[in-house]
Structure 1
Amino acid sequence: MTAREIMTTPVITAGPDATLAEISELMLAHRISGIPIADSDGRLVGIVTESDMLEEDKRRQLLPRVTIFGMVPAHQGPVEDALLKVRTFRAREVMTEKIFTVEPDTPVSEVAGLLVRERINRVPVVEGGKVIGIISRADLIRALHQSGSL
Structure 2
Amino acid sequence: MITGSGLPLRADDVMTSPVVTVPADTPIAPAAALLAAHGFTAAPVVDADGRLLGVVTEADLVRDRFRLEGREPRTVDEVMSRTPLAMRPEDELTDVVSLMLDSHVRSVPIVDDGDLVGIVTRRDVLRVVARGERGADEVRRRRGLPERPARPAGTRGRVVVGDDGSPGAAAALRSALADAARRGVRVEVVSAFAVPAPWPVRYGAPQVPTSRDLAVEVERELRGRARAAAEEVRAEPGDATPEVAVRAVPGEPGQVLSGAAAGADLLVVGSRGRGAAASLLLGSVGLHCVLHAPCSVTVVPSPGRADEDTRPPADAAEATR
CA displacement at 1:98 relative to structure 2: 2.3
Q: Take 1:126 and 1:15, find their aligned partners in 2: how far apart are those partners?
A: 17
1:104-146 CA-to-partner distances (Å, cap 9, x unmatched) read 0110100110000001111101111111111111111112222
Amino acid at match of 2:82: E
Matched, 1:122 2:130: no
CA displacement at 1:148 relative to structure 2: 4.3
For the 8 Å contact 1:2–1:106, the answer to whether it is kept is: yes
| Structure of higher RCO (CA pairs closer than 8 Å, 6+ residues apart) | 1
**What is the match of residue 96 of structure 2?**
111
Amino acid at match of 1:40: A
Extract structure 1 runs of 4+ deviating beyond 6 A: none
Superposition map of 1:2-21 within 5 A:
2-21=10-29
Q: Take 1:148 and 1:14, find their aligned partners in 2: how far apart are those partners?
A: 32
**What is the match of residue 122 of structure 2?**
137
Q: Take 1:43 and 1:18, find their aligned partners in 2: how far apart are those partners?
A: 15
For the 8 Å contact 1:36–1:47, the answer to whether it is kept is: yes
Q: Secondary structure at the match of 1:57?
A: coil
CA displacement at 1:31 relative to structure 2: 1.4
Q: Take 2:15 and 2:99, find their aligned partners in 1: how far apart are those partners?
A: 15
Normalised to the residue count of structure 2, the TM-score between the two structures is: 0.37
Matched, 1:97 2:71: no
Q: Take 1:119 and 1:13, find their aligned partners in 2: how far apart are those partners?
A: 21
Q: Take 1:62 and 1:147, find their aligned partners in 2: how far apart are those partners?
A: 50
Structure-2 change in CA distance of 1:136 and 1:62 (3 Å): farther
Amino acid at match of 1:35: A
Q: Take 2:47 and 2:78, find their aligned partners in 1: how far apart are those partners?
A: 14
Structure-2 change in CA distance of 1:12 and 1:62 (3 Å): farther
For the 8 Å contact 1:37–1:47, the answer to whether it is kept is: yes
Q: Take 1:62 and 1:138, find their aligned partners in 2: how far apart are those partners?
A: 36
Amino acid at match of 1:122: S
Q: Take 2:41 and 2:50, find their aligned partners in 1: how far apart are those partners?
A: 20
**What is the match of residue 44 of structure 1?**
52
CA displacement at 1:147 relative to structure 2: 3.3
Structure-2 change in CA distance of 1:129 and 1:62 (3 Å): farther
**Count of matched residue pairs:** 126
Query: Structure 1 residue aligned with 2:33, among 9, 15, 25?
Result: 25
Q: Take 1:105 and 1:13, find their aligned partners in 2: how far apart are those partners?
A: 22
| Cα RMSD for the two superposed structures | 2.1
For the 8 Å contact 1:125–1:131, the answer to whether it is kept is: yes
1:11-58 CA-to-partner distances (Å, cap 9, x unmatched) read 001111001111111112211111111111111001110021232337
Q: Secondary structure at the match of 1:135?
A: strand
1:50-104 CA-to-partner distances (Å, cap 9, x unmatched) read 021232337xx249xxxxxxxxxxxxxxxxxx9xx85x71011000102100100
Deviates more, 1:99-108 or 1:23-32: 23-32
Q: Secondary structure at the match of 2:30?
A: helix
Q: Take 2:117 and 2:68, find their aligned partners in 1: how far apart are those partners?
A: 35
Identity among equivalent positions (%) equals 30
